[in-house]
Amino acid sequence: MSIFKKIITFRPSFTVRILTGLISMLILLSVCTFIGLADQTRLNVRAAEFDARSIEAGAKVYFEQCARCHGVKGEGVEGLGPALASEQFVGRIELVRDGMQLQTVKVVKPSTRMEQIGWTGTLQDYILGVTASGIPVKTSNVWDVNHPTFSERFGGPLRDDQIRNVTNFIVNYGLNPLPDDQALLPPAPGEGMAPRPTPVPLTPQQEAGREVYLAKGCTACHAIRGVGAQGAIGPNLTRIGAVSEERIASDSYKTNLKDQPPATTGAEYIRQSILHPNAYVVAQCPQGPCPAGVMPQNYEQQLTPEELDNLVDYLNSLK
Ligand code: HEC
Ligand code: HEC
């Protein structure tokens, strides 16, 4: 008798049949469970990827809308906005993966800023709220501006998903926050209402230089705290008198300067930046890497030597 025939004529007892049925069902069940679990992992991985996409999209919103007041690294800009990347603001977080590859955010150190202002909700909700509706009243004299309203629900430029994305981007600073001493921290509630110290008065030449700055279109691209429009295409010039010294001491300046002798003083650097904007292209602008060839290259023809001297003198006084 062939094996084949044996199989066909095999008639197991009732118990064996029940047992076989039970065992196959168990196998089927465990296969299903396994597939289900594997799928859950895939879903979790997908959620993490989605977060990464959201943070990336948020970075774009941040550079277009927030960096001019909060700084390209979230370090804050004098007079315009506090740090958002400081450890004080975002605290410290870690990403942990559990056995199922589920990525969760673990708060290692909570935001002390939330404690300071007595906010009992989450950091996310605070950022969402401030960004969406703005801050209609000035809470301190430290800032030149009121917080803009960003949600299109209140007449601003951003959709809900863009506000969520930029919030995720800011919360993500918590993975690697700026030490508080490298960030411009906001005053505590109730502080910062004192009148500002009287600024050092400008000399008549510097005053004339300020007029040149306002008249020659620099404000379209640059911002100086308290002066003219808040251009965000070129670097913020509020502290250019001090920044210029940092620039000439930097490796980036020494290696990237082209076609011009290196400036030896801050004033020379400022003059060079105005006359030959492409000789050295600054790395970071408020909306991301600085574009080369955007700053007009004909100021030598547009400005008289006296106007140029006064302009440089004025900018160099901003420390
Ligand atoms: C025109 C300048 C300006 C722009 C643009 C701006 N902010 Fe602000 N932001 C401020 C100022 C000023 C404050 C402090 C306001 C206050 O406390 O009165 C602030 C505060 C905040 C705070 C609260 C910080 C804290 O420590 O309490 C958050 C969050 C914030 N901004 C998010 C954003 C986001 C997100 C964007 C971009 C979508 C943005 N801001 C764009 C000026 C600005
Ligand atoms: C159309 C936009 C635009 C205009 C107008 C413009 N700039 Fe600029 N400026 C830029 C950009 C972009 C940069 C950064 C890229 C570079 O270094 O060339 C820059 C760089 C600078 C720097 C160097 C800043 C730094 O942090 O090192 C100075 C100083 C400066 N501009 C002054 C001026 C002055 C003064 C005027 C008006 C006479 C002016 N700019 C007009 C776009 C502009």
- Whether ligand 1 lies within 6 angstroms of the CB of 253 is answered as no
Determine if ligand 1 sits within 6 Å of the CB of residue 274.
no
Point out which residues pair with 104 in neighbouring strands: 96
Domains annotated for the chain, with CATH where assigned, are 15-188 (1.10.760.10), 204-316 (1.10.760.10)
Residue 127 has pLDDT above 60, yes or no: yes
- Please choose, from the candidates 66, 79, 59, the residue with its C-alpha nearest in 3D space to the C-alpha of residue 186: 79
Residue 40 has pLDDT above 80, yes or no: no
pLDDT at res. 280: 96
Judged against a pLDDT cut of 70, whether residue 14 lies above it is answered with yes
Q: What is the pLDDT of residue 44?
A: 60
Q: Grade residue 150 by pLDDT with cuts at 50, 70 and 90.
A: very high
Residue 283 near ligand 1, beta carbon < 6 Å: no
pLDDT of 157 over the 90 cut: yes
Across the chain, what does the average pLDDT equal? Answer: 89
Write the single-letter amino acid at 10.
Answer: F
Query: What is the pLDDT, as a whole number, of residue 50?
Result: 65
* Residue among 222, 311, 317 whose CB has most ligand 2 atoms within 8 A, to mutate: 222
pLDDT band at 203, cuts 50/70/90? very high
Q: What is the pLDDT of residue 6?
A: 74
pLDDT at 1 over 70: no
Please report which confidence band the pLDDT of residue 86 belongs to, taking 50, 70 and 90 as the band edges: very high
Rounded average pLDDT over 241-247:
95
Ligand 2 atom having least distance to the Cα of 235: 26
Mutate to test the pocket of ligand 1, among 55, 116, 130 (most ligand atoms within 8 A of CB): 130
pLDDT at 38: 66
Round to the nearest angstrom and report the end-to-end CA distance of the chain: 103
Ligand 2 centroid to Cα of residue 276, in Å, is 10
Which region among 21-30, 210-219, 260-269, 310-319 has the lowest average model confidence (pLDDT)? 21-30
Backbone angles phi, psi at 278, to 5 degrees: -90, -5
Are the beta carbons of 242 and 225 closer than 8 angstroms? no
Residue 39 in this model has a pLDDT that exceeds 70: no
Collapse the DSSP code of 77 into the 3-class scheme (helix H, G, I; strand E, B; otherwise coil) and give the result.
Answer: strand
pLDDT exceeds 70 at position 43:
no
Q: Is 224 helix (H, G, I), strand (E, B) or coil?
A: strand
Which residue has its alpha carbon closest to ligand 2 atom 37?
Answer: 218
Nearest-angstrom CA–CA distance, 273 and 290: 13
pLDDT at 45: 60
Identify whether the C-beta of residue 172 lies closer than 8 Å to the C-beta of residue 55. Answer: yes
Q: Is the CB of 157 under 6 A from ligand 2?
A: no
Confidence at residue 196, expressed as pLDDT on a 0 to 100 scale = 66
Closest ligand to C-alpha of residue 116 is 1
The predicted model gives 16-23 an average pLDDT of 87
Please state, in angstroms and rounded to a whole number, the distance separating the CA atoms of residues 242 and 319: 5
Question: Does residue 230 have a pLDDT over 90?
Answer: no
Query: What is the atom index within ligand 1 of the atom nearest the CA of 167?
Result: 35
**Cross-strand bridge partners of residue 288:** 285
Round to whole Å and give the CA distance between 317 and 253. 21
pLDDT value at 257 more than 90 = yes
Q: Which of 235, 194, 297 is nearest to 72 (CA)?
A: 235
Question: How distant is the alpha carbon of residue 70 from its chain centre?
Answer: 8
Distance, CA of 162 to CA of 142 (rounded, Å): 28
Q: How confident is the model at residue 48 (pLDDT cuts 50, 70, 90)?
A: low
Q: How far apart are CA 57 and CA 80, in angstroms?
A: 24
Yes or no: say if 128 and 163 are a contact pair by the CB < 8 Å rule: yes
Q: Is the CB of 266 under 6 A from ligand 2?
A: no
pTM of the model: 0.74
Q: According to the model, what pLDDT value does residue 190 have?
A: 80
**pLDDT reported for residue 197:** 65
What atom of ligand 1 comes closest to residue 144's alpha carbon?
12
- Report how far apart, in Å, the C-alpha atoms of 249 and of each of 36, 242, 285, 295 are: 59, 11, 19, 23
Residue 139 Cβ < 6 Å to ligand 1: yes
Residue written as token pair 């429009």: 229
Q: Determine whether the shortest distance from the Cβ of 243 to ligand 2 is under 6 A.
A: yes
| Alpha carbon of 317 to ligand 2 centroid (Å) | 17
Which ligand lies nearest the alpha carbon of 63?
Answer: 1
